[in-house]
Every structure is written in C-alpha cells, then in structure tokens.
Structure 1
Amino acid sequence: MSVLTLPDPIAAYLAADTQGPDDLARCFTLQGVVKDKGESHIGRDAIKAWKRESSTLYTYTTEPFSVELIDGIHVGYCHVAGSFAGSPIDLKLRFRLERDLIASLEITV
C-alpha cells in the first residue's frame, strides 16, 4: 500500500480537525473561508464557531485516500465515518492554499 503525501497545510488541517476549534482555525488565513452544507463561514472566528458547533453534533473519523491538484485547487478525497446520518461517506474537500495556510475549503459529497 502506498503512503499518501499531503501538502503540509492539508495535513495540518486533518490533524487539527481531531483537536479543537482553535487549532483548526489556525490552519486558515485570517479571511479564510469554509463552505459546508450550503453555508459559508468567513474568517477564523466564524470557522471556530462552525467547528465548535459541528463537534457538538457529530463525532467522526476522517481517512484521506487520494489528493490531486486541479487548476490550482488541491482536491482531497476522504472516507468519513461517525455518528451522522448516512455514515460512512466519501467526501470531497477542495482546498485553495495561500502562503502555507488554507485560504478556502469547500466540503462536498
């Protein structure tokens, strides 16, 4: 089995996702954006609030299995399993990176 090599900001995001809202928000630029479930969360404070809320609703594990660079966007594919309807599911995470941080993240099915 081959080892998946992720860009540092994406690896940091996946590690911080298991830690907490503050750690996760630090992975983003000051005006970073998360798009999830049809909503946009802009700026580190909004990203912290998004993570805090989702952490109270669900527990889950994320296993990345592929990443590719498409038109400057890193597209990661992850297997996600947890305490939510439809689990497990494979999600697509589109990362736009900027200065070793995440400028935007869009989470889709």
Structure 2
Amino acid sequence: MNLPKVVTSLVEAQNSHDSQAYVACFSESAIVHDEGKTHKGKAEIQKWIERSDSEYHTELKPLNYKETETENIMAAEVSGEFPGSPAILQFHFGLANGLISSLRITG
C-alpha cells in the first residue's frame, strides 16, 4: 500500500506510542475530530493523543488507502484496550504542505 510519508509517520508514531512524533505530523492549526470531540492545534492534539494512548494503548494496521478530490481516507484495523477491539475505523485526512491539516476518525 502506498501511503503518503506523513501518514506512514503517523502510523509509526501511534504504534510506538510516541506522542511527540505523532503531533509532529500535524500543522500548527490542524483540527482532529474523534469520539464526538474536536481538538484544535498541536497542544490540544498532543493532550488528546496522550490521553488516548494511556487509556486505550491503540495500534494501527492500515488496510487500504484512497485519495479523492477532497480528502484522503485510510481504513485501518485499530486494536487496543477498548470494547470491541479490534475495530475497523476510517481515518479521513486533509493534507497540506506535507503535514496533516485535519483528521476525522469514523467507525
């Protein structure tokens, strides 16, 4: 599967639970939507991923990736310490200048 470099970096950071490397994949003004909440900017994204990592210990296994005119979507098997693990989730990326400008995670 041919993932953009920044998406590959995000998956690697998630699987090694490296919140600093994870946040480095995002632009300064990036927005993340997950579990009904919105996280704006690197500081909020870092708090969100650190809380998520400590609570769920998730790992990502990309299954497929497609690009459309408006977004890039990665389907991934997400496993960790949460009910229903593993689950297949969709990661909807907005990419700009080699960084993630937006991420929306859906079931």
- Structure 1 length as normaliser, TM-score? 0.92
Matches of 2:10 and 2:58, distance apart in 1: 15
1:15 equivalent in alignment to 2:12: yes
Partner of 2:93: 95
Uncovered stretches (5+) of structure 2, i.e. residues with no partner: none
Quick check: 2:17–2:53 contact (8 Å CA) kept in 1? no
Quick check: 1:20–1:51 contact (8 Å CA) kept in 2? no
Matches of 1:103 and 1:53, distance apart in 2: 21
Quick check: 1:21–1:47 contact (8 Å CA) kept in 2? no
Instruction: Extract structure 1 runs of 4+ deviating beyond 6 A.
Output: none
Map 1:53-64 to 2 at 5 A: 53-64=51-62
* Offset of residue 60 of structure 1: 2.3
Q: Secondary structure in 2 aligned to 1:77?
A: strand
Matches of 1:32 and 1:97, distance apart in 2: 10
1:70 equivalent in alignment to 2:83: no
Give the one of 84, 87, 90 matched to 1:86: 84
Supply the RMSD in Å over aligned alpha carbons.
1.0
Residue identity over aligned pairs, in percent, reads 28
Higher helix share: 2
Q: Secondary structure in 1 aligned to 2:30?
A: strand
Give the one of 43, 48, 51 matched to 2:49: 51
1:19-44 per-position Cα deviation (integer Å, ceiling 9, x unaligned):
32211111000001111001110000
1:59-101 per-position Cα deviation (integer Å, ceiling 9, x unaligned):
1221101000122311000011121011111000000000000
Matches of 2:70 and 2:99, distance apart in 1: 14
Q: Report which stretch shifted further, 63-72 or 93-102.
A: 63-72
